[in-house]
Chains A and B, each alone.
Chain A
Amino acid sequence: MGSVRMTQITALVLRAVAAGYRYGFDVMEACDLPSGTAYPALRRLEKAGLLESSWETAEDAHAAGRPRRRTYVVTPSGVNALAEAEQKLAEARRLLGHLPPAPTVEA
Chain B
Amino acid sequence: MRLSSLWIRFLSVLVPSDDRRDWTEEWQAELAAIGGSMTHAWGALADAWYLRTDGWTMDGMIRDVRTAFRGLVRSPFFTAIAGLTLAIGIGANTAIFSVVDAVLLNPLPYPESDRLVSYNFEAPGLAVQAPVIPLSEGLYLHYLENARSLDAFAVFNNGSVNLVTDGDPQQFASISVTSQYFDVLGIPPLLGRGLVEGEDRPGAEPVVVLGAAVWEQSFGSDPGILGRLVEMDGVQRRVVGVMPADVRALTEEVWLPLEIDTEGPVTGSLGLIGLGRLAEGITIEAADTEMQDLLMRFVEANSDALPPELIEQAGLASDVKALKELIVRDIRQILWVLLGTVGIVLLIACANVANLFLVRAEGRQRERALRAAMGASRLDIVRQYLTESIALAAGAGLVGLGLASLGVRGLMSLAGDGLPQVFEVGIDGSVLVFTLVISIGSGVLFGLFPAMGRGTRDLAHSLKDGGRSATGGRERFRVRSGLVVAQIALSLVLLVGSGLMLRSFAALRDVDPGFEAEGLLTFAYSLPEAEYADAAMVIDFHRRLSERLRALPGAERAGTITGMPLTGLNAASAMEPADQPFGEGELGPIIERRQVTPGFFAAMKIPIVDGRPLAWGDQGTEYRGVVISETLASAFWPGRSAVGQMIQSQGDTENPWEVVGVAGDVLFDAVQDEAQPVLYLPVMAGTAESPGVAYSGDVVVRVGADPLAAVQGARDALRAVDPRLPMINPRTVESVVEESMVSTSFTVILLGIAAGVALLLGTVGIYGVVAYIVSRRTQEIGVRMALGAPAATVLKGVIGQGLRLTAFGVVIGLLGAWGVSRALASLLYGVTATDPVTFIGTAGFLASVSLLATWIPARRASRVDPVQALRAE
Contact = CB atoms under 8 A, between A and B. Distances in A.
A10 to B, nearest CB: 13
B34 A39 contact: no
Contact of B43 (A36, A66, A69): A36
Contacts of B168: none
A82 interface: no
Contacts, number: 60
B33 A23 contact: yes
A68 interface: yes
A24 interface: yes
A67 B50 CA distance: 25
Contacts of B22: 70
Interface in A5-44: 23-25, 28, 34-40, 43
Interface stretch (B24-32, B300-308, B675-683, B705-713): B24-32
Given A67-B29, A70-B22, A70-B25, 5 more contacts: A24-B26, A38-B43, A67-B25, A69-B30, A69-B33
A73 to B, nearest CB: 15
A43 B30 contact: no
Interface residues of B, number: 20
Contacts of A34: 40, 42-43
A61 to B, nearest CB: 8
B374 interface: no
26 contacts: A24-B26, A24-B30, A25-B30, A28-B40, A28-B43, A34-B43, A35-B40, A35-B42, A35-B44, A36-B45, A36-B46, A36-B47, A38-B43, A39-B46, A39-B50, A40-B50, A43-B47, A43-B50, A43-B51, A66-B32, A66-B33, A69-B29, A69-B33, A70-B22, A70-B29, A70-B30
Tell which of A38, A39, A68 has the most Cβ of chain B within 10 Å: A39
Interface string A53-66: 00000000000001
A52 to B, nearest CB: 14
A66 B29 CA distance: 8
Nearest to B22: A70
Contacts of B50: 39-40, 43
A39 B29 contact: no
B30 A40 contact: no
Contacts of A69: 26, 29-30, 33
Given A25-B33, A25-B34, A25-B40, A67 B28 contact: yes
B47 A35 contact: yes
Contacts of A66: 29, 32-33
Contacts of B45: 36
Interface string B91-126: 000000000000000000000000000000000000
Contacts of B54: 43, 47
Contacts of B30: 23-25, 69-70
B49 to A, nearest CB: 9
B269 to A, nearest CB: 58
B46 A70 contact: no
A24 B33 CA distance: 11
Given A28-B40, A35-B42, A67 B32 contact: yes
Interface string B35-64: 000001111111100110010000000000
Instruction: Report whether over half of chain B's contact residues are helix, strand or loop; otherwise say mixed.
Output: helix
5 A-B pairs closest in CB distance: A35-B43, A36-B43, A36-B46, A39-B47, A40-B50
B578 to A, nearest CB: 78
A48 to B, nearest CB: 12
A28 B40 CA distance: 10
B19 to A, nearest CB: 9
Nearest to B50: A40
Contacts of B40: 25, 28, 34-35
Contacts of A70: 22, 25-26, 29-30
Nearest to A70: B26
Nearest to A56: B29
Contacts of A24: 26, 30
A72 B512 CA distance: 86
A34 to B, nearest CB: 6
Contact of A40 (B28, B29, B41, B46): B46
A3 to B, nearest CB: 14
Contacts of B29: 66-70
B36 to A, nearest CB: 11
A1 B45 CA distance: 25
A39 to B, nearest CB: 4
Contacts of B43: 28, 34-39
Tell which of A34, A37, A66, A67 has the most Cβ of chain B within 10 Å: A67
B530 to A, nearest CB: 62
Interface string B281-312: 00000000000000000000000000000000
Contacts of A36: 42-47
Contacts of B25: 67-68, 70
Contacts of B44: 35-36, 39
Contacts of B33: 23, 25, 66, 69
Nearest to B30: A25
A70 B42 CA distance: 19
A93 B32 CA distance: 41
B38 to A, nearest CB: 11
Nearest to A34: B43
A34 B45 CA distance: 12
A28 B31 CA distance: 12
